[in-house]
Structure 1
């Protein structure tokens, strides 16, 4: 009887630990979601520019097209039952949202480019165009982590803007990757690939725009 009680206590402790662990991963995943990390990335970039009303105006245009429009489309798909969750756990359900994001990114780039927006915002829009096209091609065959890609982009921008003070942003990348793996939404290789491509694409595009 005592042995049974001990086993029950051990099992209860294990279940509680797993539940706490999973809850932590869930909230990290929510806070580190692509819409939020993308917004943080843009905000960091804008803060590095000379303060002006037009800069914030262009940032608003970018966020409206690249963040809000795809997000509203996801909410609509979820409401209609076309996707199982807002984070697109099922790979096959990612194609349509990615197509919308590609269209939104190119529209944003065109408006910012021909509207003479700050060069940094134009470069960020170009990076989003390239990233979404590459991720769309990959997604047709393999599930890559959008969370890790966006977090890495945010970390890169933080490094360019605040230098060594960006350590917190850099540490957020493996933490968010862990959360996605813990929730069984991705494998470690999928989060690594996402982070590598996300950070690498942003660095490459900023270099091509002669901003670094």
Structure 2
């Protein structure tokens, strides 16, 4: 939403936030209600496969809407960056059978994109990524390697994708 407001398109910012944040959480909560997902962190690797595909479908649909409707390129770039980052996390998780941290990937990726789109001052927010990583390790959901790979992949992939589009 910050990016949408910053580029003068708060409605598109809300649309992207709903498609990339709210809808995926609804999928997770629905999976929990159906006992297909054990918790809101989706800690079991086998629970992630179908969820990642479903979220990818929503984000691709959102991206199509953004492009067809002529949304600001910054929001097209932001959504594309999230899509590509999710694909990378999905490949590592599903094909590599290694539960890379989506939490640290999102934290680092969004921070880098906001720094590219708005101001380098946003890079200060990267200080929160190690705290998120620590919490994921402390909870026993990830190894140190998984949170580090998630953060690096998120920052590099999202940043590169955004920079190539916007």
TM-score normalised by the chain length of structure 2? 0.91
Shift of 1:197: 0.9
* CA pair 206-79 structure 1, distance change in 2 beyond 3 A: same
The answer as to 2:95 corresponding to 1:137 is: no
Note the aligned Cα RMSD (angstroms): 1.5
Q: How many angstroms does 1:158 deviate by?
A: 4.0
Q: Does 1:162 align with 2:119?
A: yes
For structure 1, the residue ranges without an aligned partner over 5 or more in a row are 1-42
In the TM superposition, residue 166 of structure 1 has moved relative to its aligned partner by: 4.0
After superposition, the Cα gap between the structure-2 partners of 1:47 and 1:58, relative to the gap in structure 1 and judged at 3 Å, is closer
| TM, length-normalised to structure 1 | 0.72
Q: Is 2:133–2:147's contact at 8 Å kept on the other side of the alignment?
A: yes
Of residues 118, 122, 127, the one that matches 1:171 is 127
Report the alpha carbon displacement of residue 116 of structure 1 after superposing the two structures with TM.
Answer: 0.4
Corresponding residue to 1:122 among 72, 76, 92 = 76
Corresponding residue of 2:3: 45
1:195 aligned partner: 151
Q: Distance in 2 between the 1:48 and 1:191 partners?
A: 30
SS at match of 1:152: helix
| Larger deviation, residues 111-120 vs 129-138 | 129-138
1:130: Cα distance to partner?
Answer: 1.2
Deviates more, 1:150-159 or 1:88-97: 150-159
Task: Map 1:1-212 onto structure 2 (within 5 A).
Answer: 43-49=1-7, 51=8, 55-140=9-94, 141-160=97-116, 161-164=118-121, 166-167=123-124, 169-209=125-165, 211=166
CA 1:147–1:181: 2 relative to 1, 3 Å = same
Select the structure of larger CA radius of gyration: 1
2:78/2:113 contact within 8 Å kept: no
What stretches of structure 2 of length at least 5 have no aligned partner? none
Cα shift at 1:165: 5.9
Deviation at residue 66 of structure 1 after TM alignment: 1.9
